[in-house]
């Protein structure tokens, strides 16, 4: 199998593109896909400061690597969830990348440890306040990523959601007809009100397999295991279904998600309508001042509840 572009020996085949690439051309392909995503969705410019949410996994570390190589001003934030050996390993992977790669570009790594603030790791915290672990985790990460982005004056927050993630999420939202979530599932979500950072997903044009290959070829050391708390999650089930379809018909995920985005863009107005809706229902939390629909945001409610049951 030869590279579609330069005709030398290929290292990876991409069935959905009916193409194969050598390492150099594959890196160029990946960088081009991210650059196209940034430009087509008006995500950010070279002068803006970007905060990348990193977990130690292939997607977020690959995203940080790509943005730095494309010349963007990208720092990162890692939230240590306190999940035993898993968090220890993921923390080590992020720190290693920050010291070996990011530092050479002058990039900075921010760290937040859940246990220091809540008094317990994510699993124990979820049990104590009687909430699902993934729900508790999501609330904490969204809050902390937005808090750091706002407090440190970043222009935009970027996450490592790839094509597989977005197609699986879309499948779940369609199956349950969650129209409010569908309206906000695009790769770029504007900062609708003061206190909310703009959120973008520059990897939405790349599959999980492609990003794993990028990480391996570029010697990015990442944690391979899925989060132990995610076992049995609906998202993983949706991914399995889509993977079977992709095997039988390469390009299924791309057609499904990109087709959805095309239809969303034809619904005018879009971003303006969402912004107006958000402004109508959101106001500052009385405890932390971050935007919320209630008097006190869900994060502050959770932390207040935790303080009543976790020994200080």
Segment 34-49, tens digit of pLDDT: 999 999 999 999 999 9
pLDDT recorded at residue 269: 53
pLDDT recorded at residue 53: 97
> Which one has a higher pLDDT value, 195 or 68?
68
- Segment 225-235 mean pLDDT: 83
The domain ranges of the chain are: 20-239
- pLDDT, tens digit (0-9, with 9 covering 90-100), for 286-296: 998 888 888 99
At residue 230 the predicted structure's pLDDT band, cuts being 50, 70 and 90, is: confident
pLDDT over 60 (residue 103) = yes
pLDDT recorded at residue 311: 56
User: Is the domain 20-239 a CATH 3.90.950.10 member?
Assistant: no
3-state SS string over the chain? CECCCCCCECCEEEHHHCEEECHHHHHHHHHHHHHHHHHHCCCCCCCCEEEEEECCCHHHHHHHHHHHHCCCEEEEEEEECCCHHHHHHHHHHHHHHHHHCHHHHCCCEEEEEHHHHHCCCHHHHHHHCCCCHHHHHHHHHHHHHHHHHHHCCCCEEECCCCHHHHHHHHHHHHHCCCHHHHHCCCCEECCCCCCCCEEECCCCCCCHHHHHHHHHHCCCCCCCCCCHHHCCCHHHHHHHHHHHHHHHCCCHHHHHHHHHHHHHHHCCCCHHHHHHHHHHHCEECCCCCCEECCCCCHHHHHHHHHHHHCCC
pLDDT over 70 (residue 138) = yes
Most confident segment among 60-64, 126-130, 141-145: 60-64
């Amino acid at each position: 199998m030869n590279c579609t572009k330069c005709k030398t020996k290929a290292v990876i085949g991409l069935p959905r593109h009916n193409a194969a690439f050598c390492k150099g051309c594959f890196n160029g392909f990946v960088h081009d896909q991210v650059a196209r995503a940034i430009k087509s969705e008006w995500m950010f410019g070279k002068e803006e400061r970007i905060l990348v949410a990193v977990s130690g996994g292939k997607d977020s570390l690959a995203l940080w690597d790509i943005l730095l190589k494309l010349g963007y001003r990208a720092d990162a934030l890692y939230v240590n969830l306190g999940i035993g050996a898993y968090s220890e390993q993921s923390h080590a992977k992020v720190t290693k990348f920050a010291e070996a790669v990011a530092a050479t570009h002058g990039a900075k790594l921010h760290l937040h440890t859940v246990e220091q603030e809540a008094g317990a790791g994510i699993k124990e915290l979820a049990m104590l306040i009687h909430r699902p672990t993934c729900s508790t985790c999501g609330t904490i990460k969204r809050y902390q990523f937005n808090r750091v982005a706002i407090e440190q004056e970043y222009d935009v927050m970027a996450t490592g959601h790839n094509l597989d993630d977005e197609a699986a999420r879309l499948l779940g939202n369609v199956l349950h007809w969650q129209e409010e979530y569908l309206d906000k599932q695009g790769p770029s979500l504007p900062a609708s009100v003061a206190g909310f950072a703009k959120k973008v997903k520059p990897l939405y044009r790349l599959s999980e397999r492609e990003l794993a290959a990028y990480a391996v070829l570029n010697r990015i050391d990442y944690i391979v295991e899925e989060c132990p708390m995610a076992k049995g999650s609906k998202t993983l089930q949706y991914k399995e279904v889509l993977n079977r379809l992709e095997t039988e018909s390469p390009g299924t995920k791309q057609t499904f998600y990109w087709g959805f985005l095309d239809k969303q863009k034809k619904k005018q107005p879009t971003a303006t309508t969402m912004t107006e809706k958000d402004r109508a229902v959101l106001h500052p939390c009385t405890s932390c001042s971050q935007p919320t629909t209630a008097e006190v945001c869900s994060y502050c409610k959770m932390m207040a509840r935790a303080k009543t049951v976790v020994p200080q």
